[in-house]
Structure 1
Amino acid sequence: MAQATAEKTFFGHPRPLFTLFLTEMWERFSYYGMRALLVLYMTKYLFIEAQNGRHIWGFETIQSMIVSMFGPMSTQALSSQVYGLYTGLVYFTPFIGGMIADRYWGQRRAVYVGGILMAIGHFLMAVESLFFPALMFLILGNGFFKPNISTQVGGLYPQGDKRRDGAYTLFYMGINLGAIFSPLVCGTLGQKVGWHWGFGAAGVGMIIGLLTYHFGGKNLPEVMNKKSIQEIEAKAHQPLTKSEWTRTWALTFLCLVTIFFWGVYEQQGNTLQLWADQSTDWNFFGFNIPSTWYQSFNPLVIVFFAPVLDRVWAWQSRRNQEPSTAMKMAIGCFLGTAALLIMYLAAKAVGGGQGSVLWLLGSTFMLTIGELYISPIGLSLVTKVAPAKIVSMMMGVWFLATFFGNYVAGWIGSYYEKMPKNEFFLFLAVLALVPGILFVLSHKGLNKSLGKDI
């Protein structure tokens, strides 16, 4: 990885960080704008049309495959399964995209390819019959884009630079600035004007992100993209040392333990969005707010509280009381459990009617703080401890865990209509508790394997 180019800084960080910050902000605008609409689009319109005879390329094949595995299901259950497969595969392909970047293309070329594929996918979403090909373009594009934009953040800092965790927290804020505005723009257009307007707006966001990356490219360090293929292959084929293997296996274990947390977390775009649409009163002073606006609350909390947690951790570090990475992740999982217990109480109180939005916002607040204890910390950890020759691939492993978690989210979501809502949310609370316990039990071994300063 490149060493830091710290002679020109902005708020104490290398200026190229803000090119990556803005690029990811627009890419996340496009992703979360599309995600805000996805389940509602399938349950309220597209799959109903398909079942009524409208031609949707690949629908019958996908439906037959899912039904053969899980049996007949409602439109909501089918939509949840497709949502889980899509959001899961979005986080599976970064494993492959990271390997290709490490061995052949370099990180910057991979970002360009991924961004172009995703832009095509977003615009194809505006064509109903091409819904599934559009999802495939988005899945493939994200595989190249996601791990390589994230890895470049770590490439701005030399090993041991204490600013790295803070850089990933700032980067994570960029992700969530885009996610704040996308449901407001894409969600409103999709629900109030037309589905295709919302998906088209997401495509425009992706184009802006690519242009930002291109014109800010002169400020970025040369990561690996100008090395010859022969040099990259030679480095990639060198065997890992015993110490590197130990770090790799420990990092892989830590990534995989997060699967259950992501299975709970991703309900925000799935069953919690359905709760927001069906069981929450959104009438404010006579104005009926689109339910997709709910998905702006999670990133809003992140933008406000990520700097607060960064300060808290810095204060703890000065007092030698900062939790290790594994213990931070345990705290995040326990907060996720608390979040779903709030929804358990909400379901008991609301029953079959509509309740206050405060239930949903309180739960999402707890889940979001839990996320801050897991996601940016994990991204930073990968670039700290992964062997340099496989750092993009290991970033893909981090996202691979999210793939399994997202698929779990879709599978669990298919029971939303089958179970009493309070039992459904209680099951999710238990699911978030399991990885927290595993992190507590394994944190000493992980600290020894990954290094005392993680």
Structure 2
Amino acid sequence: MSQVSDASFSEELEKQGIDGSLVLGHPSGLFVLFFTEMWERFSFYGMRVLLINFLTTAIISGSPFSGWGWDPVQAGALYGTYAMLLYITPIFGGILADKFLGYRFAVVIGAAIMTLGHLFMAFDTPLFLYLGLGALVIGTGFFKPNMTSILSEMYKKFPQKKDGAYTIFYMGVNAGAFFGMMLCGYLAEKVGWHWGFGLAGIFMFLGTLQFWFAKPIFGKVGDPPSAEQKESAKQTAATSLDPDDKPNPFTALDTILIVAMTVLGLAYAFNDPLSKIAGLDILSGLQLGAVAGQNVAIIAALVLFFFVVISRLTRYTKVVRQRMIAVIIFAFFVIFFWMSFEQGASSLVIFARDNVDRTLEGNSLTIFNIVNMLLTIVPLALITYVVAKLTKQTYGKAPLSNIVQAVCFAGIWGIAIWMLYREFTAEASEITVSWFSIMNSFFIITFASSISKIWDSKFNPPAAVKYGMGLIVMAIGFGLLAFGAHGIQEGVKVSMIWLVLAYLFHTLGELCLSPVGLSYVSKLVPARMIAFMFGMWYLAIAIGNKLAAILGGEIENITKEYSLSTFFLIFTIVPVVAGILVMLLHPVLKRLMHGVK
């Protein structure tokens, strides 16, 4: 595809009412989205890395470091439902934005609700914790799908530049996660939980303001659809169907079954933490013999789900049907990946706190502080450089947005320098539990470009092989943890190098598998069905997240009954088996995909 010059690119943007000033060869609006996503991810991951640790930390009367003393099973049940719902609500938020709100307004609504959620959580009382998590789930539903929709709309006339734009945007995601987990985690564990939860809320609020004040930069991009646009979209959909596709409207029975499975699935999601935390089992009436009522509900929901999917598949033409079956197979295996990978939010947090030797002094502390300083200062300096470039280009058009951005970065620099000074002047220190979680974002930023270049080369393997590689490489990380924890006695702690290496392999596995999934959904599914199949894809991720939290909550029980090494072997063996199976399915998947590369 031919390249477009910066001058013609800028001119075409201005014709669409978008600010034509370019930063690093891309519209200034991309970097507004970059920083909005960065502050949202800062807040999301800053809170996420604290939640399980806070819930399961012992109660210490009157101390700012007092947790709630929950059992990991209880904490896992709550976190699992929260994580599961985070992947369900964006389906509805995207529909509302498409039809009524417009992408920009939906983002603002979502960001405002999430800000309220973080504010609630800073009080860390039961009522406000549940209100906060609920607000974060709802806010994410509005925010998450519509940020990428704005980006896509901004680049719809420049598809050749879209890959680069998404790469930059993805760096914003990881930069936010990196600094959120580092700084919110440090404040929470060194000063008090209120400070960590509160900092997440402050930057969510400032990120919302930064985006709101940047409205002039986007022109009409992301505005609510007009009546003419809605009618045009209908006509385009009616006249541009894939030749192998044919209309397949939902029947009345389909609708009834979808409502039924949704009710049963949500009932399970809420009943799991209710029964384990409050002893309130609202589904006890469904119990069949030894099978708990909530398990009967989720099994019934899955049966109805498969019935609807299979009945709908039979109504498609052969090519479309088989391509959709390929997507479903990929979605099935993605469950096993996220079931293991998302231990980073549950069992690995508990493992880092209770089983990893985090105490440093002398030369070891000095080396760690130098490494930590470089990890903090270098990326922060690079991102600040981008802020300066953006401010230079857009100050005249969106001054308030730039002022808010300057306040954000002044705050981040201040907290980072205070943190580093505090650690450099300490004679001995204990690394925070949350520090290990930043390894995932750091390794993504480090290796993402190299992995993408491999996929663009002649060594690019088929999708099934990438999936298998992702599962097996990630499993190696858990294998290292199982080896490192083998034979340790109670009270003996593991070297931190095992956990760092585990995060390295988890990240390499993620880079093999995660970017591939959504790409293949968009390639294999007819345009008219993309929303439905994306919903199915996110449902698979939601199930994986819920399973991850349930299994992660069993870390103490499995360790007591067997060993810590046995616990990690579960997440070594299962993904390896799944990885081998999906690679063996390559010939079948190749036939089902009918030439899609």
TM-score by length of 2: 0.64
Q: 1:43: Cα distance to partner?
A: 0.9
Cα distance change on mapping 1:441 and 1:234 into 2, 3 Å:
farther
Corresponding residue of 2:451: 309
Cα distance change on mapping 1:45 and 1:355 into 2, 3 Å:
closer
Contact 1:92 1:399 in 2 (8 A): yes
Q: 1:138: Cα distance to partner?
A: 0.4
Contact 1:336 1:367 in 2 (8 A): yes
Write the distance in 2 (CA, Å) between the matches of 1:194 and 1:100.
39
Cα distance change on mapping 1:90 and 1:434 into 2, 3 Å:
farther
Q: 1:443: Cα distance to partner?
A: 4.0
Q: 2:42 aligns with which of 18, 22, 29?
A: 29
SS in 2 for 1:309: helix
Q: 1:90 aligns with which of 86, 91, 94?
A: 86
Provide the identity percentage: 35
Cα distance change on mapping 1:392 and 1:14 into 2, 3 Å:
farther
Corresponding residue of 2:167: 169
Q: 2:507 aligns with which of 362, 365, 368?
A: 368
Write the distance in 1 (CA, Å) between the matches of 2:42 and 2:331.
25
Q: 1:415 aligns with which of 551, 554, 561?
A: 554
Q: 1:429 aligns with which of 572, 580, 590?
A: 572
Contact 1:123 1:200 in 2 (8 A): yes
Write the distance in 1 (CA, Å) between the matches of 2:217 and 2:360.
46
TM-score by length of 1: 0.83
Amino acid at match of 2:583: V
Q: 2:108 aligns with which of 105, 108, 112?
A: 112
Corresponding residue of 2:467: 329
Is 250-259 or 406-415 further displaced after alignment? 250-259
Contact 1:107 1:225 in 2 (8 A): yes
1:269 aligns with 2:345: yes
Structure with more contact order per residue of length (Cα contacts < 8 Å, sep ≥ 6): 1
Q: 1:185: Cα distance to partner?
A: 1.1
Cα distance change on mapping 1:337 and 1:295 into 2, 3 Å:
same
Q: 1:135 aligns with which of 122, 133, 136?
A: 133
Matches within 5 A, 1:167-316: 167-220=165-218, 225-228=223-226, 232=230, 235=233, 241=242, 242-243=244-245, 246=320, 250-285=326-361, 286-314=428-456, 316=457
Q: 1:340 aligns with which of 464, 467, 478?
A: 478
Write the distance in 1 (CA, Å) between the matches of 2:163 and 2:189.
38
Cα distance change on mapping 1:426 and 1:252 into 2, 3 Å:
same
Is 233-242 or 368-377 further displaced after alignment? 233-242
Write the distance in 2 (CA, Å) between the matches of 1:326 and 1:213.
39
Where in structure 2 are there 5+ consecutive unaligned residues? 11-21, 62-67, 247-315, 362-427
Cα distance change on mapping 1:378 and 1:346 into 2, 3 Å:
same
Corresponding residue of 2:540: 401
Contact 1:343 1:359 in 2 (8 A): yes
Amino acid at match of 1:357: M
Write the distance in 2 (CA, Å) between the matches of 1:185 and 1:258.
31
Cα distance change on mapping 1:220 and 1:326 into 2, 3 Å:
farther
Cα distance change on mapping 1:30 and 1:160 into 2, 3 Å:
same
SS in 1 for 2:461: coil
Q: 1:290: Cα distance to partner?
A: 1.3
Contact 2:467 2:583 in 1 (8 A): no
Q: 1:435: Cα distance to partner?
A: 3.9
SS in 2 for 1:355: coil
Corresponding residue of 2:117: 121
Contact 1:101 1:392 in 2 (8 A): no
Is 241-250 or 372-381 further displaced after alignment? 241-250
Paired residues in the alignment total 425
Q: 1:181: Cα distance to partner?
A: 0.9
Q: 1:223: Cα distance to partner?
A: 5.6
Q: Deviations over 1:308-354 (max 9, x none)?
A: 2223323x1xx3x3123443232111111111111111220544311
Bigger radius of gyration among the two: 2
Q: 1:90: Cα distance to partner?
A: 1.2
Q: 1:243: Cα distance to partner?
A: 4.1
Corresponding residue of 1:66: none
Amino acid at match of 1:7: F
Q: 1:263: Cα distance to partner?
A: 0.9
Cα distance change on mapping 1:231 and 1:260 into 2, 3 Å:
same
Where in structure 1 are there 5+ consecutive unaligned residues? 50-55, 57-72
